[in-house]
Structure 1
Amino acid sequence: MAACAVSFLGSAHAAQHRFTVKDDIRIATFGDYPVPPITWSPDRSKAAVYVERGQLEQNKVEGILRIYSTRALKKWITGPKSAVPPTPLWTIAMAPYKEGPAMSNIRWTPDSRALTFLKFVHGKHRLVYADLSGKRLQILSLPGQDVTAADIHDRHHYVYAARDPKIYKPRARQTGSEDVTGRPLFTIVYPVDKYPQQAKFYERSELWAARGGAPTRLEDPNSGKPLYIFGEGQRDLSLSPDGNWLLTALPVRNVPVAWEQWPVVLKTYSVHGGPQDLGPLSLNQRLVSRYALINLKTGAQRFPSKAPTGFSATWFTLVQPAWSPDSRRVLLPDQFLFGADGSITRNPPCVALARVDHAGVSCIEHLKPLYVDGKPARKESLKHLRFGGPDNREILIDVERLHVRDHRNVTRRYMPHGQHDWTLLTAKTGHDATDSDTLKLSIRQRYDLPPKLVATDTANHRSRIVWDPNPQLANVTLNPISIFHWKLPNGHVMTGGLFKPADYLPGKRYPLVIQTHGFHIGKFSPSGVYTTAFAAQELAAQGFIVLQTNSCPEILTPDEAPCQARSYDAAIDKLQRLKWIDPQRIGIVGFSRTCYYVLEALTRGKHHYATATITDGVNAGYWQYMLSLDAFGNSTSREDDTLNQAAPFGKGLQKWLKNAPTFHMDKVTTPLLVVGTEASGVEFLWEPYAALRYLHKPVAMNLLHSDEHENTQPAARMASQGGTVDWMRFWLQGHEDPAPEKRAQYRRWEHLCDMQRAQHPEDPSFCVKSPASIPTSDTAASHVSKQGTHTRT
């Protein structure tokens, strides 16, 4: 029996394998903003639970929507422990496209008998109606439309926003010349009719409504033209329970100059007076808008306030408005208010109450800023707004406490006091406002624990696991993760996640890879944080220590990138003191905004990095500055002027020459892999690549065949995350993957290795030399020198 037991344990151990990018892609993750993991029906009798995972073989993203009965869950959780979890009332599984999210914008009908969601098909979203009684799916939006937001009253009464079809129309090819003044460069070089994936940058959408029949386009009653909404209006799109009123945010065509006085959170994005470009070329810019109520019977528009939304001035809440059950009142999450005398005040925007039957809003509580002087300041985040109490006269504001270990929710209850004032009754900790009265559904996960759906009886606090969507992880060896702290020179404590190999040996020094852009204690993220470029578990499985770093408490200040570089240096110093890492084998990975930080570290950091990668991101450089003219509301230029302390003209250019890392590429002694996405993504990162290429330094550029910023497409993830693993192993471990399809890749990199060795013969090197450079006395399989060991496996 003992021998059999030993044999069984050995077989079980052998069944497990090291974590790979394929394992990462196949992990099912519960929804996150903007697709919530759990959406309760209005009567709390049902809950819709959403997960998503990649299907590598089909190169598609699968979305799974499970609808559970509250009654069945309550009965099960109070029953015997041996009872099997209840099966869902309905499971809707879709893998409609190569990119995600496969489903989004999940909304229940007021009677809790059906729901709608957006399905991603061939690059466009379609509005789907799911009838629970017959378990039938039906497309509600018109063929060819790309739906950006929707809400529903019932099968015959609903509203949605569809991307302006003019975006897709082929431009007339003129002979001679064409005036393209004021158009962003990439819309000229990559027109949407030839590059449909570029349409995602165009927010302008038309409003459509079904009022008992087929959906028709809503028009402005004054001009007769289509009624357009943009990003903020799409997020706020909310239909009253009786189906008669639509709340949204409409952009102001001409912003009053006096509105420049409204307080902003990020000074770089102050409100600017004057006309706004509301044409189809308005690309993801933050337009100044007002909340608007639209009567779906008459088409008439009403504005609860003449003041703008807080979102217009960077007071970001990302919380939806909330209607009262009688459809006569609506809560606005971020509304500026004029003073009693009609003047503009310096007060923050409010969570405010608006009434349908008359103009004017009342402030319930002021919002708190996310940043103050470029440093994080908010200690809580709005979660939900709702009506409650007798006759729904109370206002309940649910917030999540930040920077505390359990992120506990707090509910503040307000009662009306007089005509416009409100009195705080209580503020107490409780379960999530969207939960049932006696049942809480939550996603239990942590940085070191895969996610599971958990039900809790709030009366006796008994919890049980309803669903583990990742049973396959039992066959995968997950590398241990721990919380790691280090200090900046000013004493500020930084936090990150430290991944170690499963077979870690004390006293052995391992190669280190620093991954940037944040670390979430409460979220299981094997890649480290994002699924583009990052591959923490994958690298740890191959013998690396990986540090996933949080960011410095600086944003949009000249010290933003230098602080990050100092943080990386301080973390390396501590890891060296602990004797965990080999200081000669350090790599760093940048993505999105942290490409800027990585370039800063390579040009001005204290430590030398043996290799680095940057993917699809900003760098505060001159080339990106010029490329971004007239795009995204010129936000890139405003940010770069702040980061570099001036505009790059006249005397200001001297500050750019001093501050911008792209003007210091001659100092880079690190082999760099630059990864751009299709179309404009490669151009956006051209400057650091071209500079190193011109200087004859080891640099490579990969074109990722994806238009996503954060990759969901399985093939793109294999190329991006797998590319990081290959690059780091090549330079820090002298390893080459034997896969035949990668042979050409490694031949190119071997020549870069030769270049690096020739330029820095005094530095230790661990990359694989090209066969032509290996002395004849060495074998083709391995090469040993005073600089390290190099293997071609």
Structure 2
Amino acid sequence: MHLARYGAAIALAWLALPCAHAVKRRFTVRDDIAMVRFTHPRASPEDPGTAIAEPSPDGKSIVIVVTQGRLSDDLIESRLLIFQVSAIRNAAMHPQLSMPKPKVLATVQGMPPPFAVHAHDGVIKDVRWAADSSTIYFLTANRQGNYRLCAVRREGGRVDHLTPSTMSVDRFTLSGDRITLLASGQRPASSAAGQALNADARDITGTRLIEDLFPDSRYNRAIRVFRLYTIRLDANKPSIHSVPNYALEQIPFLARAYPFAASSQAGELIKLEPAKSVPKSWSRYAPATGYPQLRLRQGSTTGQFQAANIMRPLEYTAINLANGKQTPLLPAPNARSLGYLRDANRAVWSSDAKRILLTNTFLPVDRYSDTTSGDVYPCGVASMDMPDDRVRCLFFENRSLNPKVFHVQDVAFEKSAAKVAVLLHNGLNQQIVQHYTLRQSHWLLISTDLVQSPVTSLREWQRQDSDGGLRWRMFIHQSLNDPPQLWVRAPNGSSQKVWDPNPQFRQMRFGHASSYSWRDPHGHQWSGILIEPVGFIRGKRYPLVLQMYDYVDHQFITDGLYPTAFAARELASAGFVVLQFRKQRDTGSERDPQIALEGYQSAVAQLNAAGMIDPGRVGVVGFSLTCWYAAYALVHDPTLFHAATIADGLDNSYMQFMMFTPGEYFLRRQMLGVRGVAPFGVGLAHWVKTSAAFHFDRIQAPVRIEAIGPSSVLQEWDLYASLRLLKKPVDLIYFPHGTHIHKHPLARLESQQGNVDWMYFWLKGEELPDQSSVVSYPEWESMRRSYDRLNNSTKPASQ
């Protein structure tokens, strides 16, 4: 095990641009880290590949957020930029004029919180305009990952901090003359797990292993106590007021995924709150296909309701902001708790605060037409009238996993509380808007519109639709091979570039990327992005690296999807063919890794038949869930891969089950769902037969393991120890303060560049010839000598 040797890496963080006549150089990990990326200005973008400008209500200005990594101080920098629409319009109409440069309203260096779930998160987020377009409100993260609520005038000037540095704001909403926000205090001091018996003994029955062994771990300190606050904006000096009688233990990133909607009078707030119990009737609620372990049962263990359970049952709740009183609205669980993850969770008030729209929720069992027996399914969009609590369902949820099926993305009232628009999307990147009207106590579908240009919200679609497409529109133009740039579309449909945040890319060469698809022998359709090496020569066979998880259609591809271990375009710069592809939908069973293996095998076979790759030089990268698939493939087809990286993932092994499931309700149900039986008695024989961890002796490929945080070291230890004891090539890299999706620039440098180095060494048999390497090769040379002796093989041929 070793830590990375960075050497002069920090000093090389910002590379000087070569002169105009210099030979173009290749794209590297450092270029990826320093790349200026458009960050979605709202809190929870529906599509992580979509980034849009946030227009002011009067249409005169737009603000954008851009973000990049800084190797020089290992921080993330975000900037809030503003453009004047009139200046852009004038430049577009008069070619002799240059496009205006953006004005910087705020610059922040900090670090997103450990549990940020989107790749390349910024430290400015949740940008919102005041109704009169005079002020912009937003959240900024400091170096500890705590967020403060800030405000800046449109014309620029001082950035005002509306909340103290001791408070971390998670959500906020503007309603009338009031801001309502959800925030937590400073991280609590670490304390030993369990109950103290005396000065020398503690009872840790029922605690989590990670709490017992690593009380100072940031993961143990992630659960915070959240409270509600309000700020009156019409006061001479805005002050913060606490909502009494409200406190919630929650993991921060979960709170940001849920509705946070204050009424127009700011008297009540709708949130998803943890259920206090599971009534017997809730067992009839049908979990989503593939998630049978999530069915709710009366009398389940208390772990079901703990804050650490990311799937604990939640229900839509109204909170009185004057006294903190909570009132379940239905009551029934939100459908996300039962695995309905493709539908957004939304709560929307009508303008008179007398009707509410709630999405992705079950209704009380007695509200369904058949109340006698059988499963009941969630309502896609429900309306609720206040104060008589009458509930109506616009339409019921579809359990199908067919990518053509549409799921709820957003809802909104239209011209009155009797008219509703629903934005839906499917797995084919199509969007539609359905219009409903309330007639004779029933919601009727009256029309459907096809969305021509992708949108992230109904507000955006309504803004486009309101002027018949005649307004000047700002958008982010990008493709698989074109880096993102800010463009403007004129009312006549013509488009022009406004601003290029990465002019340095004009001096770089990129491997060409294209969509790629194939079928495995069992008929599964697979899709991905195939990236050719820089200088690709048809007919020449190249080493191949497979990266399975997901990808974003039509988005400029750099690392692949996440900056943990994935390094797609960087590998292409080093002479590899790279296939970043989408895993199949999970069945939650032992079939999943076998299906993945067939995907790996068929991809290699098709690329080999096309004459593009050398099947004797193929590598694989597993991240998170796909570590299970990669480890399974290494065991069940030992000659398929010739180098591998396993990064911070579960493999449903016996060791992981015994270490983590006693204190993890959701994980225990998941792993029991996969194996179908606990590893005791006759069940143990089944685990020995099916778990790859009992067969690591079959692995032939050199394996690089990346462990992020102390619990990750434990979950990867059986793979590392097995290969180490068997004297097989294995490298264990530890990121003690890292995040599952790497945020720290130096962590990204080690993870991504280290992976490029690893693949280059084992698949090409060489050391990377330039100075970008972050490793010390003598250790690997020693591994290779042992590897060659063990397998009686020769050094791999270089390309």
Q: Structure 2 length as normaliser, TM-score?
A: 0.86
CA 1:134–1:467 in structure 2 vs 1: closer, same or farther (change >3 Å)? closer
- Residue 390 of structure 2 aligns with an amino acid whose one-letter code is G
- Partner AA of 1:543 in structure 2: G
Give secondary structure in 1 for the equivalent of 2:670.
helix
Deviations 1:165-208 (A, max 9, x none): 574354598612112222211122222xx3346433x2652223
* Partner AA of 2:144 in structure 1: G
State the Cα distance separating 1:742 from its structure 2 match: 6.9
Matches within 5 A, 1:779-790: 788=797
1:732 is matched with which residue? 763
1:739 CA displacement: 8.3
Which residue in 2 is equivalent to 1:473?
Answer: 505
| Deviation at residue 53 of structure 1 after TM alignment | 1.3
Residue 239 of structure 1 corresponds to 262
Q: What residue number does 2:29 align with?
A: 21
Q: What CA deviation, in whole Å up to 9, does each residue of 1:245-271 have, x standing for no partner? A: 211111111121221211211222222
Distance 1:592 1:730 in 2: 24
Q: Partners in 1 of 2:661 and 2:524 — Cα distance?
A: 37
1:34-55 residue CA offsets vs partner (Å, 9 max, x unmatched):
5543344456554432222112
Count of residues in Structure 1 that have an aligned counterpart in Structure 2: 740
Do residues 58 (structure 1) and 81 (structure 2) align? no
Contact 1:69 1:89 in 2 (8 A): no
Residue 424 of structure 1: how far off its partner (Å): 2.8
Cα distance in 2, alignment partners of residues 40 and 628 from structure 1: 47
1:617 to 625, 638, 649: 649
The match for 1:93 among 75, 96, 107 is 107
Counterpart-to-counterpart distance in 1, 2:207 and 2:109: 36
- Of the structure 1 ranges 532-541 and 64-73, higher mean CA displacement relative to structure 2 is found in 64-73
1:118 is matched with which residue: 135, 139, 146?
Answer: 139
Instruction: Give, in angstroms, the shift of residue 665 of structure 1.
Output: 0.3
Residues 669-714 of structure 1, C-alpha deviations (whole Å, 9 max, x = no match): 1111111013222112111111111222221111124421111211
Give the whole-Å Cα distance in 2 for the aligned partners of 1:227 and 1:304. Answer: 18
1:441 aligns with 2:455: no
Larger RCO, structure (CA 8 Å, separation 6 or more): 2
- For structure 1, the residue ranges without an aligned partner over 5 or more in a row are 1-9, 767-787
Structure 2 unaligned spans of 5+: 1-17, 46-50, 114-120, 465-470
Q: Say which is worse superposed, 104-113 or 684-693, in terms of deviation.
A: 104-113
Q: Is the 8 A contact 1:554 1:563 kept in 2?
A: no
Q: Determine which of 392, 414, 420 is the counterpart of 1:395.
A: 420
Partner of 1:49: 64
Q: Which amino acid aligns with 1:28?
A: V
**Matched residue, 1:348:** 378
Which stretch has the larger CA shift, 174-183 or 538-547? 174-183
Match of 1:670 in 2: 701
Q: Give the aligned residue type for 1:241.
A: S
1:309-458 superposed matches below 5 A: 309-316=334-341, 317-338=343-364, 343=371, 346-369=376-399, 372=400, 376-377=402-403, 379-389=405-415, 391=416, 393-403=418-428, 407-431=429-453, 432=455, 433-435=458-460, 436-437=463-464, 438-457=471-490
**What does residue range 145-224 of structure 1 map to in structure 2 within 5 Å?**
145-153=167-175, 157-163=178-184, 167-168=188-189, 170-171=191-192, 175-191=199-215, 194-196=216-218, 198-200=220-222, 202=223, 204-211=225-232, 214-220=239-245
1:142 to 152, 156, 164: 164
Structure 1, 667-676 or 554-563: larger mean CA deviation: 554-563
Contact 1:362 1:420 survives alignment (8 Å):
yes
Cα deviation, 1:105-129, whole Å, max 9, x if unaligned, reads 3333444433332221122322322
State the alpha-carbon separation in 1 of the partners of residues 132 and 440 from structure 2: 34
Q: Deviations over 1:367-396 (max 9, x none)?
A: 333xx4xx555633433211213x453211
- Letter of the aligned partner of 1:255 in structure 2? V
1:256 counterpart = 2:279: yes
User: Which amino acid counterpart does residue 285 of structure 1 have in structure 2?
Assistant: I
Amino acid at match of 1:91: L
Partner residue in 1 for 2:3: none
**Does residue 523 of structure 2 align to residue 491 of structure 1?**
yes
Mapped contact 1:253–1:278 kept (Cα < 8 A): no
Q: Structure 1 residues 181, 219: CA separation in 2 closer, same or farther (over 3 Å shift)? A: farther
CA offsets, 1:74-118, max 9 Å, x none? Answer: 5655x2344433454653222223874312233334444333322
Could you tell me which amino acid in structure 2 is paired with residue 455 of structure 1? Answer: V
Deviation, structure 1 residue 360:
3.0
Over the residues paired in the alignment, what is the CA RMSD in angstroms? Answer: 3.0
1:658 aligned onto 2:692: no
Matched residue SS, 1:485:
strand
CA separation in 2, counterparts of 1:746 and 1:51?
Answer: 37
Name the SS of the counterpart of 2:392 in structure 1. strand
**Structure 2 Cα separation of the partners of residues 126 and 541 of structure 1:** 37
More displaced stretch, 642-651 vs 694-703: 642-651
Equivalent position SS for 1:707: coil
Distance 1:151 1:489, change over 3 A: same
Instruction: Quote the Cα distance in structure 2 between the aligned partners of 1:75 and 1:419.
Output: 51
User: Which secondary structure state, in structure 2, belongs to the residue aligned with residue 199 of structure 1?
Assistant: coil
SS of the aligned residue for 2:330 comes to: coil
Q: For residues 280 and 400 of structure 1, do their structure 2 counterparts lie closer, same or farther at Cα, with a shift above 3 Å needed? A: closer
The alpha carbon displacement at 1:456 in A equals: 2.5
How far residue 495 of structure 1 moved from its aligned partner, in angstroms, is 1.6
Please give the alpha-carbon distance, in whole angstroms, between the structure 1 residues aligned to 2:191 and 2:621.
39
Indicate conservation of the 8 Å contact 1:168/1:196, yes or no. Answer: no
Q: Residue 518 of structure 1 corresponds to which residue in structure 2? A: 550
When residues 273 and 86 of structure 1 are mapped into structure 2, their CA distance, relative to the original with a 3 A threshold, is farther
Instruction: Specify whether residues 379 and 400 from structure 1 end up closer, same or farther in structure 2 by C-alpha distance, changes over 3 A only.
Output: same
Q: 1:551 maps to what in 2? A: 583
User: In the TM superposition, what is the alpha-carbon distance from 1:145 to its structure 2 partner?
Assistant: 2.1
1:356 CA displacement: 4.0
Q: How far off is 1:336 after superposition?
A: 1.5
1:72 Cα deviation after fit: 5.2
Distance 1:409 1:725, change over 3 A: same
1:554-611 Cα offsets, whole Å, 9 max, x none, are: 4313211111111111111112212222222111111111111111111112743211
> 2: distance between equivalents of 1:280 and 1:340?
24
Is 1:536 aligned to residue 560 of structure 2? no
* Aligned partner of residue 778 in structure 2, secondary structure: helix
Give the superposition deviation at 1:17.
0.7
Work out the CA distance in 1 between the residues paired with 2:310 and 2:168: 19
Return the alpha-carbon distance in structure 2 between the equivalents of residues 743 and 304 of structure 1.
55
* Counterpart position of 2:10: none
CA contact (8 A) 2:434 2:448 kept: yes
Does the CA contact (< 8 Å) of 1:387 and 1:394 recur in 2? yes
- Cα distance in 1 for residues equivalent to 2:626 and 2:164: 41
Deviations along 1:473-501, one digit per CA (max 9) or x if unpaired, are 10111111122222200223322222122
What residue number does 2:12 align with? none
Tell me how far apart the structure 1 counterparts of residues 443 and 536 of structure 2 sit (CA, whole Å): 61
Cα distance change, pair 742–368 in 1 and its aligned pair in 2 (3 A) = same
After superposition, the Cα gap between the structure-2 partners of 1:322 and 1:71, relative to the gap in structure 1 and judged at 3 Å, is farther
Q: Distance in 2 between matches of 1:641 and 1:378?
A: 31
Larger mean Cα displacement after TM superposition, 423-432 or 638-647: 423-432
Q: Which moved more, 1:268-277 or 1:311-320?
A: 268-277
